Structure 1
Amino acid sequence: MPICTATLALGSVSGSLLFSNTDIASSNLHSSSVSSLLSPVSNFSKHSQRYCCSSRRTPWVCSANKVTSNTEINGQTSPVLQDSSVPPTEAVRQARRSADWEAARSYRDSGFICEGRIEGFNGGGLLVRFHSLVGFLPFPQLSPSHFCKEPTKSLQEIAKGLTGSLISVKVIQAHEESRKLIFSEKEAEWSKFSGKIKVGDILEARVGSVEDYGAFVHLRFPDGLYHLTGLVHVSEVSWDLVQDVRDVLTEGDEVKVKIISIHREKSRITLSIRQLEEDPLLETLEKVIPQDGSVGSDSESISDASNIEPLPGLETILEELLQEDGIIDVRICRQGFEKRVVSQDLQLWLSNAPPINQNFTLLARAGRQVQEIQLTTSLDQEGIKKALQRVLERVP
């Protein structure tokens, strides 16, 4: 991916002013006009969509007696207004800003990576210099490597440490009319590193934010940095039924994940933790209740369905399952007895094995008993999980 290094305006922006002292000195302005030029960056709010580029149009108005000439900027000829009320240096700056807006739109449309210098920050993100313009990079658009490198630091401390450095970014918004110039480092990182991963890869990772629907996890690359972020959906956290992801994962946890899908157009990665572990249900079916009917090494006997008494509480659950839409039939097939007590409480699992003729396998377990249940349904695996969850919420 081509990388362009922007020509950066040097010198500090004292008080977040829009013009440098050099600009003011070169324009030979009267002191009363200087105050109209020096306008603080006040159009940044806490929401990224309201952050705008700090480059402003001049408050002066050209008179009707204007003269148009051509000024060459960056190899292109641009019309420049010359008037007694507008100093030539200001006209050149206006033309330069227009050319820079055009360059920003070109980067946005092409998706190329450019570099900008971080000039400061506020409560929502970083102020980034792009040629003569100053745009905004919201904190959520920063690469996860910054947070994972120094996890104990606050956003403001990280931003302060980045001030003055160059950063590789993509332009994601460039609207000259509303003076909105927005950057993303995450999108630049995606372009650099997404081609280095594939479905099936197993990576070390660190848990970021944890939500009701899953956990966002930062992937560590061979250079030791965390460049990309993926989602571990709640259904991929554990083989057990997880009702609250926060019971299993906490921000900062070090985990191993498997990449199960990559959506390159949307810059999305789907991850799994549970697929790195053996399905405990399938292992139990093989050892306790073998499919061929023989006795497993960890079991004492196998009972036929004709004389099986449902485990305490299981009969009510099966009756409730039959009330769910899409559940056609539920019946106990076989029973096994383990040599050791796993849990006195009733536990219920859904097999990860593919269904055969719309038949899924459930496993109920309590004490030493293990009962295999055949579930005939038109639902898919996720639909069965939701039906089971609704039933378990209803049954005390």
Structure 2
Amino acid sequence: MPIFSATLGSISFLSASQSQSNLSPFKLTVKSPCQWHHYYHTTKVFVSGNTQIDQNPDTGLLQRPTPPSPDPQDVTRQARRSSDWKAAKAYKDSGLIYSGRVENFNSGGLLVRFFSILGFLPYPQLSPMHACKEPEKSIQEIARGLLYSNIPVKVILADEDKRKLIFSEKEAAWSKFSKQVNVGDIFEARVGYVEDYGAFVHLRFPDDLYRLTGLIHISEVSWDLIHDVRDILKAGDEVRVKVVGIDWGKSRINLSIKQLEEDPLLETLDKVIPQDGSADPDSTSSIDSGDIEPLPGLETILEELLQEEGIYDVRISRQGFEKRVVSQDLQLWLSNAPPINQRFTLLARAGRQVQEIHLTTSLDQDGIKKTLQRVLERVP
């Protein structure tokens, strides 16, 4: 029996012996020629088994049917998600704090709900209060304890195209508690972790919670020379620190341990060589002023000072040896000791050796400082 094939309004006959691969993809079977006219107006052609294509009764051309209407619930859901992404970007731009529910966690951080979107909070962006409150617990145990609780966070990345929503609890804590910190404040703190360049420590607030993190640079750990911070500090150590700087733009707090100790550069020589002769012979000594050899580079400075107007006499009076090395370089500063009979005291230090210099002058303290600055600029 012949097989009919429909191709865009025309009909051709194929013999049964012809290959099925030559058949048109739009197949139409008609019972008899007398039924064709009626069938022409009502035919529906199926492509690839299920896809229906209608035939226009006026033109005879095949045409795709109108697609079904989308599910109203899907439309509403998509509109809501799009609106929530806009809200996330608004939170990021404004810096507002959002209270997000912890839905789950993985090896890298917490999954936090933001309206209809799930965002990510990496473990390094958690507030230090969690680990400091329960230091014996692993980060995964801490995360498990936070499940289904609400935590304050800031949106630090909202990218709808890449589907990335990142939170920070640290940034939220900074916004809330940094205003309570001022330069010069002293805090009890706990060392979080140590790097080659310094130690990051968590500051304990009056509520006994560790709210913010600051950096003690290696130069602010001790007055002694330090080659490795790990020789002095390790994670978990309790320390007292002083706030020496705040970078509001970068949300950073600079801290110091050594500035809670008396600056040895401001000590008078009386603290190096006690006047009662009770000095430890292993750490300090006194030599007759006539036998004192100036520290390397100091003699040239003293000669230049004598060339300055208002300075009448400059001489080394005493020297001593300290127990610790502050610097191997020559350092010169004006003592805080008040002048006696127009005589000021200068202190020079290099390594462990300290020398006291008496400067007789008509200049006041500010005048001496300016004179020293001019001299030090001339001396190489």
3-state secondary structure, aligned to 2:199: strand
Aligned to 1:66: none
Aligned to 1:244: 228
**Deviation at 1:83?**
6.4
Could you tell me how far apart the structure 2 residues matched to 1:108 and 1:204 are?
Answer: 32
Matched, 1:124 2:108: yes
Against the structure 1 CA distance between its residues 353 and 297, is the aligned structure 2 distance closer, same or farther, given a 3 Å change threshold?
farther
Checking the alignment, whether the CA contact within 8 Å between 2:348 and 2:354 is kept in structure 1 is no
The residue correspondences of 1:223-234 to structure 2 (distance < 5 A) are 223-234=207-218
Equivalent in 372, 379, 389 of residue 355 of structure 2:
372
User: Which residue type is aligned with residue 234 of structure 1?
Assistant: I
Matched, 1:303 2:303: no
3-state secondary structure, aligned to 1:204: strand
Checking the alignment, whether the CA contact within 8 Å between 2:126 and 2:169 is kept in structure 1 is yes
Against the structure 1 CA distance between its residues 337 and 209, is the aligned structure 2 distance closer, same or farther, given a 3 Å change threshold?
closer
Could you tell me how far apart the structure 1 residues matched to 2:273 and 2:130 are?
Answer: 50
Equivalent in 156, 159, 165 of residue 149 of structure 2:
165
3-state secondary structure, aligned to 2:140: helix
Could you tell me how far apart the structure 1 residues matched to 2:74 and 2:234 are?
Answer: 55
Aligned length: 269
**Deviation at 1:355?**
9.9
Against the structure 1 CA distance between its residues 131 and 347, is the aligned structure 2 distance closer, same or farther, given a 3 Å change threshold?
closer
Q: Structure 1 stretches of 5 or more lacking a match?
A: 1-81, 322-328, 380-396
Checking the alignment, whether the CA contact within 8 Å between 1:142 and 1:184 is kept in structure 2 is yes
Q: Which has the larger radius of gyration?
A: 2
Aligned to 1:148: 132
Equivalent in 164, 168, 178 of residue 162 of structure 2:
178
Against the structure 1 CA distance between its residues 248 and 83, is the aligned structure 2 distance closer, same or farther, given a 3 Å change threshold?
farther
Checking the alignment, whether the CA contact within 8 Å between 2:319 and 2:356 is kept in structure 1 is no
Aligned to 1:86: 70
Could you tell me how far apart the structure 2 residues matched to 1:124 and 1:233 are?
Answer: 28
Matched, 1:362 2:349: yes
**Cα RMSD after superposing both structures:** 3.6
Aligned to 1:266: 250
Could you tell me how far apart the structure 1 residues matched to 2:335 and 2:83 are?
Answer: 62
Could you tell me how far apart the structure 2 residues matched to 1:212 and 1:354 are?
Answer: 33
3-state secondary structure, aligned to 1:157: helix
Could you tell me how far apart the structure 1 residues matched to 2:200 and 2:333 are?
Answer: 27
Equivalent in 193, 214, 218 of residue 198 of structure 2:
214
Tell me the TM-score normalized by structure 2: 0.62
Could you tell me how far apart the structure 2 residues matched to 1:83 and 1:296 are?
Answer: 104
Against the structure 1 CA distance between its residues 137 and 355, is the aligned structure 2 distance closer, same or farther, given a 3 Å change threshold?
farther
**Deviation at 1:352?**
9.4
**Deviation at 1:280?**
3.8
Deviations 1:112-152 (A, max 9, x none): 11111111111211111111100111111110001101111
Checking the alignment, whether the CA contact within 8 Å between 1:258 and 1:275 is kept in structure 2 is yes
Aligned to 2:173: 189
Q: Structure 2 stretches of 5 or more lacking a match?
A: 1-65, 280-284, 299-303, 305-314, 337-345, 358-371
User: Which residue type is aligned with residue 129 of structure 1?
Assistant: R
Aligned to 1:112: 96
Tell me the TM-score normalized by structure 1: 0.60
Report 1 or 2 for greater relative contact order, CA contacts < 8 Å, sequence distance ≥ 6. Answer: 1
User: Which residue type is aligned with residue 288 of structure 2?
Assistant: S
Could you tell me how far apart the structure 1 residues matched to 2:350 and 2:354 are?
Answer: 6
Against the structure 1 CA distance between its residues 348 and 198, is the aligned structure 2 distance closer, same or farther, given a 3 Å change threshold?
closer
Could you tell me how far apart the structure 1 residues matched to 2:229 and 2:320 are?
Answer: 32
User: Which residue type is aligned with residue 96 of structure 2?
Assistant: F
Deviations 1:334-365 (A, max 9, x none): 65468xxx76xx84547695799xx9831443
Checking the alignment, whether the CA contact within 8 Å between 1:287 and 1:298 is kept in structure 2 is no
Could you tell me how far apart the structure 2 residues matched to 1:133 and 1:371 are?
Answer: 66
Could you tell me how far apart the structure 1 residues matched to 2:333 and 2:199 are?
Answer: 25
Could you tell me how far apart the structure 2 residues matched to 1:213 and 1:352 are?
Answer: 27
Against the structure 1 CA distance between its residues 120 and 373, is the aligned structure 2 distance closer, same or farther, given a 3 Å change threshold?
farther
Checking the alignment, whether the CA contact within 8 Å between 1:218 and 1:228 is kept in structure 2 is yes
Checking the alignment, whether the CA contact within 8 Å between 1:216 and 1:231 is kept in structure 2 is yes
Deviations 1:224-264 (A, max 9, x none): 10010111111111111111111111110111111111112
Aligned to 1:386: none
Could you tell me how far apart the structure 1 residues matched to 2:376 and 2:97 are?
Answer: 51
